[in-house]
Structure 1
Amino acid sequence: MAAHTDRHGVRGILAPAAALDRWLQVVLVALVATCAVRYVDRHGLGATGVLVLLGAAVLALAYATRTLLPGRTWWPTAWVAGMVVIWTALTVAAPSFAWCAVPVAFAVLRVLPFAWATATVVLMTLVVTGSWWRIADAPDPTLVAGPVGIALVTVIAYRTLERESQARQRLLDDLTDAQADLAEEQHRSGALAERTRLSREIHDSVGQGLSSINLLLQAAEQAWDSNPATAREHVNTAAATARDGLDEVRGVVRDLAPAELAGDTSGAALLDALRRAAPGLDAEVRVHGAPVALRPEIAAALVRTARGALANVAEHADATRVAVTLTYHDDEVLLDVRDDGRGFQPGPPSGPLRGRGLRGIRDRAEQLGGRADVESAVGEGTTVSVRFPLEVAR
Structure 2
Amino acid sequence: MNTSAYRGVRPLLAGADRLETWLHIAFVVLTITSTWRYLDGHGLSDRGPWVLGGALLLVGVYASYRLLPAPVWCGVLVVVWIGLTALAPSFSWCAVPLAFVALRVLPYAVAYVVVAAMVVTVVVSWSAMSDTVDPTVIAGPIAIAVLAVGAYRALDVQATERQRLLDELHEAQGELAEAQHRAGVVAERARLSREIHDSVAQGLSSINLLLQAADQDWEARPAAAREHVSQAAITARDGLDEVRRVVRDLAPAELSAGGDLPAAVQRVTDEATRDRGRASVRVHGEPAVLPDPVGTALLRTTRGALANVVEHADASHVVVSLTYQPDSVTLDVRDDGRGFDPTASSPAGQPARGRGLAGIRARVEELGGSLAVESAPGDGTALAVSIPLNAPTQGRMS
TM-score by length of 2: 0.89
2-structure distance, mates of 1:324, 1:275? 8
Letter aligned with residue 298 of structure 1: V
The residue that corresponds to 1:389 in the other structure is: 388
Q: Quote the offset at 1:267 in angstroms.
A: 4.1
Please give the secondary structure, in 1, of the residue aligned with 2:298.
helix
Q: Is the 8 A contact 1:265 1:293 kept in 2?
A: no
Q: Offset at 1:114?
A: 1.2
Corresponding residue for residue 235 of structure 2: 241
Compared CA separation, residues 132 and 7, structure 1 to 2 (3 A): closer
Residue 312 (structure 1) aligns with: 308
Does structure 1 retain, via aligned residues, the 8 Å contact 2:261–2:299?
no
Distance in 1 between the 2:48 and 2:10 partners? 36
Match of 1:299 among 295, 302, 317: 295
Q: Note the C-alpha offset of 1:365.
A: 1.2
**Divergent runs of 4+, >3 A:** 5-11, 60-64, 265-269, 271-274, 279-282
**Of 194-203 and 133-142, the range deviating more from structure 2:** 133-142
Contact 1:277 1:310 in 2 (8 A): no
Measured in 2, the distance between the counterparts of 1:201 and 1:30 equals: 78
Q: Provide closer, same or farther for how the CA distance between residues 264 and 388 of structure 1 changes in structure 2, counting only shifts above 3 A.
A: farther
The letter of the residue matching 2:212 is Q
Query: Which amino acid letter does the alignment assign opposite residue 105 of structure 2?
Result: V
Query: C-alpha offsets along residues 130-152 of structure 1, whole Å, 9 cap, x if unaligned?
Result: 10111113111222211112212
Shift of 1:183: 0.7
Q: Is the 2:370–2:386 Cα contact (8 Å) retained in structure 1?
A: yes
Amino acid of the residue matched to residue 102 of structure 1? V
Shift, 1:329, TM fit = 1.6
Deviation at 1:67, TM superposition (A): 2.9
CA contact (8 A) 1:277 1:303 kept: no
Deviation at 1:157, TM superposition (A): 1.8
Query: Which secondary structure state, in structure 2, belongs to the residue aligned with residue 278 of structure 1?
Result: helix
In structure 1, list runs of 5 or more residues that go unmatched: 70-74
CA contact (8 A) 1:334 1:385 kept: yes
2:174 is aligned with 1:180: yes
Check whether the contact 1:221–1:231 (CA below 8 A) recurs between aligned residues.
yes
Matches within 5 A, 1:366-381: 366-381=365-380
- Structure 2 matches for 1:261-300, cutoff 5 A? 261-262=255-256, 264=258, 266-267=260-261, 269-276=263-270, 278-280=272-274, 281-282=276-277, 283-300=279-296
**Per-residue displacement from partner, 1:363-394 (whole Å, max 9, x unpaired)?**
11122333222222333222122222346x9x
Range with greater deviation from structure 2 (259-268 or 334-343): 259-268
The superposition leaves residues 226-247 of structure 1 with CA deviations (integer Å, 9 ceiling, x where unpaired) of 1112211211111111111001
Offset, 1:216 = 0.9
What's 2:349 paired with? none
1:138 matched residue in structure 2: 132
Count of aligned pairs between the two proteins:
379
Q: CA RMSD in A?
A: 2.3
**Cα separation, partners in 2 of 1:277 and 1:54, compared to 1, 3 Å:** farther
| Offset of residue 155 of structure 1 | 1.8
The verdict on how the C-alpha distance between 1:276 and 1:114 changes in structure 2, with shifts beyond 3 A counting, is: farther
The offset of 1:81, in angstroms, is 0.9
Q: Which runs of 5+ in 2 are unaligned?
A: 345-351
User: Following the alignment from structure 1 to structure 2, what is the Cα–Cα distance between the partners of residues 241 and 168?
Assistant: 65
Is residue 262–residue 322 contact of structure 2 (8 Å, CA) maintained in 1? no
Counterpart of 2:252, as a letter, is: P
Alignment partners' CA distance in 2, 1:123 and 1:161: 23
Aligned to 1:147: 141
Question: Which of 194, 198, 202 in structure 2 is aligned with 1:200?
Answer: 194
TM-score, normalised with respect to structure 1: 0.90
Residue in structure 2 matched with residue 102 of structure 1 by the alignment? 96
Percent identity over paired residues: 56
Asked if 1 retains the 8 angstrom alpha-carbon contact of 2:281 and 2:319, the reply is yes
Q: Would the aligned equivalents of 1:277 and 1:306 in 2 still touch at CA under 8 Å?
A: no
- Following the alignment from structure 2 to structure 1, what is the Cα–Cα distance between the partners of residues 118 and 325? 89
Partner of 1:72: none
Residues in 1 aligned to 2:142 and 2:305: alpha-carbon distance in whole angstroms: 88
Q: Is 1:341–2:340 an aligned residue pair?
A: no
Q: C-alpha separation between the residues in 2 aligned to 1:149 and 1:277?
A: 95
Q: Partners of 1:137 and 1:297 in 2: how far apart?
A: 97
Taking the aligned partners of 2:123 and 2:262, their CA distance within structure 1 comes to 100
Does the 8 A contact of 1:216 with 1:279 survive in 2? Answer: no
**TM-superposed deviation, 1:35:** 0.9
Equivalents in 2 of 1:366, 1:11: separation in Å?
55
- Which string of whole-angstrom CA distances, capped at 9 and with x for unpartnered residues, describes residues 148-179 of structure 1? 12212222222222222111111111111111
CA distance in 1, matches of 2:374, 2:4: 69
1:255 CA displacement = 0.5
Inter-partner Cα distance in structure 2 for 1:265 and 1:215: 27
Q: Which residue of 1 aligns with 2:87?
A: 93
Deviation at 1:61, TM superposition (A): 4.7
Q: Which residue in 1 is equivalent to 2:28?
A: 29
